[in-house]
Amino acid sequence: MKVLIPTPLQSYTNAREVEATGTTLAELLADLDRLHPGLRFRVIDEQNNMRAHMRFFVNGEQVFDITHPLRPTDSVFLVQALSGG
């Protein structure tokens, strides 16, 4: 399935959009990490929770649970909030 990567994480993928597989968001993130090592740690913390600055959208709808089921035709968007001062 198509996964849109936010600009700050594109150093892991060298692309704005990548393909990955999984029947849940957790499986998709594991596949992304297999293909692009280190990416998962930037979006999921040590307790297996979504990091506070990350948002996940499946087909345009925000998802709050990494066990959310996915279909092969879904589009997943990772969005990273930026802050500064």
Instruction: Name the pLDDT band for 82 (thresholds 50, 70, 90).
Output: confident
Give me the pLDDT at residue 84, please: 57
Do 17 and 77 touch, CB atoms closer than 8 A? no
pLDDT tens track for 16-58: 999 999 999 999 999 999 999 999 999 999 999 999 999 999 9
Give me the pLDDT at residue 77, please: 97
Specify the higher pLDDT residue, 82 or 35: 35
- Bridge partners, residue 2, by sequence: 19, 75
The domain 2-80: what is its CATH number?
A: 3.10.20.30
- Residue 69 DSSP label: B
- Tokens representing residue 53 in the block: 């600055």
Interior angle at CA 50, CA 45 and CA 53, nearest 5: 95
Specify the higher pLDDT residue, 72 or 85: 72
Give me the pLDDT at residue 85, please: 54
Report if pTM > 0.85. Answer: yes
Interior angle at CA 44, CA 40 and CA 48, nearest 5: 120
Least Cα distance to 32 among 76, 79, 67 occurs for 76
Q: How far apart are CA 83 and CA 85, in angstroms?
A: 7
